[in-house]
Copies of this chain bind each other. A is one copy, B any other.
């Protein structure tokens, strides 16, 4: 705030500060000294990189104290920025004054050595101070902003769909139940069942699995809308790709068909990649060197090529023709498994692939039935290294067709009265998709476990911090 200079400014506007006196505040990453002078790697959180502070016995009056400043201690350093064109780092700060603003205890868990990602998850409150997580969470922030910018620049309306819901939007997926009832003393009705009319909302409620249906109501008013909020799945699956609480982006566009939908998704993915390459070059370089070699080449390749578009039927043919033996055998009608999805995107096409027009029996009730009567206008985007990252569709806008489909799937129209209303009053064609936010973060950083791109991950049996 105010008077301090940030390390970001020193790196981004080096010429302005060269030879000038500046005041920094930050935390010690490393500290080593002889009896005459010492070096502190100081990081202030404003930037991925640190600044080397040089302090000398002859220059400051508390040399011995500073030489003992431990890792994680917080310092104020006033000094002169000296360019060092011969050295590895572009400049260093020659200290004229160093003040310890806060000490740190010797048992600080993040010492200067390589820690396992598993260990770092146990200290999620400290891991953003490590290089890896400093990079991950800054990129996460930038990608979130890139997504808002992408949609807002096109005048999409951002809508906060509700988290507490009385209905299961996708007619599938285990949900978390919400209640304020005293579980040790549940109120019962005359029939002996729990009396939910006494619960906070007067009925059974859950955490949302998708804001899509509500977003559709807004698309019918604003034409172009998007959601960006947390969603929840109470699935007991402990994989590297699933979390119980995650964030999702769900654009919904009126007067759009499946091709428009894919155009939007492709533009968005490319926008995100361009944004992080431009705004986080240091972090991306770090991922490329230490997390996922070849990452930057792969991302550059993606922004400069068209995504493939292939129907489900064609994809199944290609899988069958490949001769590859899969754990789950391939035949028309099956839901594609991760192994199939990854083979399609990584082996067959080697780039992002939209698979379209899936069998209706494996897809949700709201997807538009194609003229063949067997498939729906769905599109899933598969990307190398991650698999499915986007699921979308054109929505069924025909009232009668939607009713018939809901009957087929044993859904009660009355539960969806407001969703049906959209088909009665100016219900035009429309389409949308859901992007798993953590999936795109994994994709652009190369991190392979969803627990490492969520600040405080929630998974089965885990809700720490």
Contact = CB atoms under 8 A, between A and B. Distances in A.
A161 interface: yes
A425 B200 contact: no
A155 B214 CA distance: 32
Interface residues of A, number: 112
A104 B424 contact: yes
A458 B217 contact: no
Contact of A102 (B133, B232, B256, B428): B428
A422 B186 CA distance: 40
Given A165-B463, A465-B418, A214 B426 contact: no
B128 A222 contact: yes
Given A214-B465, A244-B200, A183 B177 contact: yes
A138 B152 CA distance: 11
B428 A45 contact: no
A64 interface: no
Interface stretch (A1-9, A50-58, A325-333): A1-9
Contacts of A183: 177, 179, 181, 183, 186, 194
Given A162-B458, A177-B179, A426 B25 contact: no
A164 interface: yes
Contacts of A234: 180, 200
Contacts of A123: 418
A460 B174 CA distance: 25
A355 interface: no
A128 B416 CA distance: 18
Interface string A256-290: 10001001100000000000000000000000000
A454 B260 CA distance: 29
Interface centre among A207, A253, A254 (most CB of B within 10 A): A254
A455 B45 contact: no
A179 B180 contact: no
Interface in A236-259: 236, 244-245, 247, 253-256
Interface in A371-404: 397
Given A74-B428, A164-B244, A177-B178, 17 more contacts: A45-B224, A101-B429, A125-B418, A126-B221, A137-B218, A138-B157, A141-B158, A144-B160, A160-B247, A161-B455, A162-B458, A163-B232, A164-B176, A164-B458, A176-B178, A183-B194, A201-B244
Interface of A: 1-2, 4, 6, 8, 25-28, 44-46, 72-74, 101-105, 108, 123-126, 128-129, 133-134, 137-138, 140-141, 144-145, 148, 152, 155-166, 174, 176-181, 183-184, 186, 193-194, 200-203, 205, 207, 214, 217-224, 229-230, 232, 234, 236, 244-245, 247, 253-256, 260, 263-264, 397, 418-419, 421-422, 424-429, 454-456, 458, 460-465
